[in-house]
Amino acid sequence: MKTSISKAIGQALHEEMVRDENVFILGEDMGVMGNVFGITRGFRDEFGAKRVIDTPISESGFTGIAVGAAMRGLRPVVEWMYDDFITVCLDPVMNQAAKLRYMTGGQITIPVVFRAPIGAGRRNAGQHSQCLEALFTHIPGLKVVCPSTAADAKGLLKAAIRDDDPVVFLEHKLLYAKQEEIPDGEYIIPLGKADVKRPGKDVTIITWSRQVYFALEAAQTLAAEGIDAEVLDLRTLVPLDWDAVRESVCKTHNVVIVEEGVKRGGVGAELSAQITEDLFDELDAPVGRVAGMNVVSPFSPVLEDAEFPHPEDIVAGVKKTLGR
C-alpha cells in the first residue's frame, strides 16, 4: 500500500505507543495541533495529555525532561521542530544522554529517541534548513538514523524506539509527502543495516536521506552514457554498516559520497578517510565527495538551490572520479 513518509512515521509512533505504555511523545505543538507536519494528529485524543505532551518553547527543558524520564525506565520520543534547534539543547543530549550508560557502568540505559526534520529546499533560511547529522555522528554514545523511504522510516523508527540507547532520528522535510509502498503488518528494520537501492558495477554512490533520490536520478543519466552506478543508502550513519560499504567498494573500485550537509567536516569526510585507510588497495581513484557548500543556507530560492547537490552535480562528481 502506498503511504507517505509522514504517515509511515505516524504509524510507527502509534503502533509503538499501543504496544508499550512506557512510550510517550513530547515537543512543541505535538498534542492539540498534532505536529506542524500533521504526524501526530489525533494522538492526544487517543492517548491523553500525559502521553502526548505539548511543551513550552524550551528545547533544553523538555529534552532534559526526556533524558530523565528515560533514566527512570520510560521511552520518550522527543521532537525538535527543526534539527537546527539542537544548538539550544546540546548539553542534555551530548553530556547526559550520550554518556550516562557508560558513566554508570551500564547500571542505567537511556532509551530515548530525538526526532527532527532536516534539510533545505523550503526557503526556510539559515536557522531552519541545516543538515546536522555530522554533528551527531561525532558524539560517542549516540546512534544516528537518516531514512529515505516510507518503509525505511517506519521500520527504523520502531527499531529506534525499542533500542536501549539514545537515537537521533533525522527526517528530511521534503520527503514527508513522498508516497511509496510499505509492507503490511508489523516489521522492524535493524539499525546499522544499509540498503542497495540500485545495484551497479562501475562506481558506488554512497548517500542517505533525500540525496538517495538525487543519486538514483543521476544513476539513470549515467547509465545512458554507459556508466553503471550502484547507489548505497546507508540509512543508519551510526552504527555504520561497514560490511555493506566494503562489499560495494570491492565490487566497483570507485566511490563518490553524496550529502546535503556542508562539505567541511561532513559525514563524507569521515567515510572517505575510513575507506582510504582500510580499502586503499581496492580503489582505482581517490574517493570523490559531492556535498553542500560551506555557507549559511540562504533564503533566496536561486541561492538556496545552488547551495546543495542536485543530480547534475552527482553526475559531474562521478565523471570526475572516473576520469571521464
CATH number of the domain at 274, please. 3.40.50.920
Q: What is the CATH number of the domain that holds 173?
A: 3.40.50.970
Residues 133 and 203 in one domain: no
> Is pLDDT above 90 for 287?
yes
Residues 138 and 279 in one domain: no
Confidence of residue 125 (pLDDT cuts 50, 70, 90): confident
Q: 83-97, 225-239, 275-289: which has the minimum mean pLDDT? A: 83-97
Q: What's the pLDDT score for residue 37?
A: 81
Q: What's the pLDDT score for residue 262?
A: 96
> Is pLDDT above 90 for 289?
yes
Confidence of residue 175 (pLDDT cuts 50, 70, 90): very high
Confidence of residue 154 (pLDDT cuts 50, 70, 90): very high
Q: Which residues contact 248 (CB under 8 A, 6 or more apart)?
A: 196, 204, 206, 230, 232
- In the predicted model, what is the mean pLDDT of residues 2-31? 95
- In the predicted model, what is the mean pLDDT of residues 69-82? 95
Is 186 a domain residue? no
- In the predicted model, what is the mean pLDDT of residues 209-216? 98
> Is pLDDT above 80 for 153?
yes
Is 279 a domain residue? yes
Q: Is 243 left (phi over 0), alpha (psi -120 to 50) or beta?
A: alpha
Which comes out higher in pLDDT, residue 265 or 297?
265
Residues 169 and 242 in one domain: no
Long-range contacts made by residues 297-302, C-beta under 8 angstroms, separation at least 24?
297/120, 297/124, 297/125, 297/126, 297/129, 297/130, 298/125, 298/126, 299/123, 299/124, 299/125, 299/126, 301/123
Q: What's the pLDDT score for residue 208?
A: 98
Q: Which residues contact 195 (CB under 8 A, 6 or more apart)?
A: 152, 232, 233, 235
| Final residue belonging to a domain, choices 181, 214, 231 | 181
- Rounded to 5 degrees, what angle do the CA atoms 212, 218, 221 make? 150
Q: What's the pLDDT score for residue 174?
A: 94
- Distinct helix (H) and strand (E) counts, the chain: 12, 14
Residues 162 and 16 in one domain: yes
Q: What's the pLDDT score for residue 124?
A: 78
Q: Which residues of 155-185 are buried (b: 16+ CB within 10 A; e: fewer)?
A: bbbbbbbbbebbbbbbbbbbbbebebebeee
Q: 6 in helix, strand or coil?
A: helix
Give the residue among 110, 105, 114, 107 at the shortest CA–CA distance from 141. Answer: 110
- In the predicted model, what is the mean pLDDT of residues 212-229? 98
> Is pLDDT above 80 for 301?
yes
> Is pLDDT above 90 for 73?
yes
Across the chain, mean pLDDT equals 95
Which neighbouring-strand residues pair with 78? 26, 114
Cell of residue 138, nine digits: 561525532
Residues 175 and 201 in one domain: no
Residues 107 and 216 in one domain: no
Could you list the active site residues? Answer: 59, 128
Phi, psi angles (nearest 5°) of residue 250 = -70, -20
Residues 177 and 236 in one domain: no
- In the predicted model, what is the mean pLDDT of residues 162-182? 96
pLDDT in tens, 20-52: 999 999 999 887 877 778 889 989 999 999 999
Residues 231 and 205 in one domain: yes
- In the predicted model, what is the mean pLDDT of residues 200-204? 98
- In the predicted model, what is the mean pLDDT of residues 93-98? 96
Confidence of residue 172 (pLDDT cuts 50, 70, 90): very high
Residues 68 and 129 in one domain: yes
Confidence of residue 238 (pLDDT cuts 50, 70, 90): very high
Question: What is the rounded CA–CA span in Å between residue 277 and residue 299?
Answer: 39
On whether the CB atoms of residues 254 and 204 are closer than 8 A, the answer is yes
Cell of residue 256, nine digits: 563518490
Q: What's the pLDDT score for residue 213?
A: 98
Domain span at residue 130 reads: 2-181
Question: What is the rounded CA–CA span in Å between residue 312 and residue 50?
Answer: 48
Confidence of residue 126 (pLDDT cuts 50, 70, 90): confident
- Rounded to 5 degrees, what angle do the CA atoms 174, 116, 272 make? 80
Cell of residue 190, nine digits: 535493524
